[in-house]
Amino acid sequence: MSTPDNTGIDGGFTDPVFDSQAIFTAVMRALSRPGTLVDLGARVKAPNALAPAAACILAALADYDTPVWLDESLRREADVVQWIGFQTGAVQVKAPAQARFAVCSPGADLPNLSEFALGTADYPDRSTTLIMVLDSLTAGAPLTLTGPGIETTATIRPKALTPTFFADWAINNALFPRGVDVLLVCGSEAIGLPRTTRIRSA
């Protein structure tokens, strides 16, 4: 376990209103145009264990009313836990179903998507947005995306999603209007996968 230092409280937005709006706009663009690579920039300085894009998203969108789930490796990083708590005020939860935002590191054990909050028929927005940190968004095998927000098809190359994720994603599609939305991130970049997006091998 790492020892907390000033990294756990320093490194927030320089201009909280402007920066939060910019990140919100970028995230909405990613989710409304699946397959589009968006760059969230270097707007925060978070602990090294937390990818810059993940940190930006949490700093802009999480607050005291949006519980956050972290995978086990991130929960062991004291400076990450402290940074998120200080910058967002969000309560961290151990149960995926309680989370409005969740962060999973490369290689970490990802729960089945159905274990996260899926929303309800009346309130489908009461679901988890999962931030998956990957080794690359451009160096993996090509995947073809179809669905709302995509004119014909879109191609992405994330590295590396597991076979289990694809099986879970098909189930997630079938739950619409309920389901989990996913943001794939690496470095400062992100790709949105809303629950309506269908994925197949290119």
Q: What is the mean pLDDT of each run of 10 residues along the chain (202 residues)?
A: 53 89 97 97 92 97 96 96 95 97 94 97 96 97 97 95 92 97 98 97 82
Model pLDDT, residue 8: 58
Whether residue 25 is contained in a domain is answered as yes
Name the pairing type of β-strands 92-93 and 68-70. parallel
CA 7 – CA 44 distance, rounded (Å):
11
Cβ(184)–Cβ(191) below 8 Å:
yes
182 bridge partner residues? 130, 193
- Domain membership flag for residue 149: no
* Residue 18 in tokens: 């402007």
Residue 76 structural domain? 6-134+164-195
Please tell me the total count of domains within the chain: 1
The residues near 25 (Cβ < 8 Å, ≥ 6 apart) are none
Q: Identify the CATH number of the domain in which residue 52 sits.
A: 3.40.50.11310
pLDDT value of residue 6: 53
pLDDT at 172 (0 to 100): 98
Flag whether the pTM goes above 0.75: yes
Kindly state the helix (H) or strand (E) to which residue 171 belongs, with its residue range. helix 163-174
**Is the residue at 105 inside a domain?**
yes
| 152 within some domain | no
CB-CB contact of 51 with 83 (8 Å): no
Instruction: Specify if 188 maps to a domain.
Output: yes
186's CB contacts (< 8 A; 6+ apart) are 51, 53, 133, 134, 135, 136, 137
**Which pLDDT belongs to residue 12?**
84
Calculate the CA 71 to chain-centre distance: 12
Partners of 69 in the beta sheet? 93, 102
202 within a domain of the structure (yes/no): no
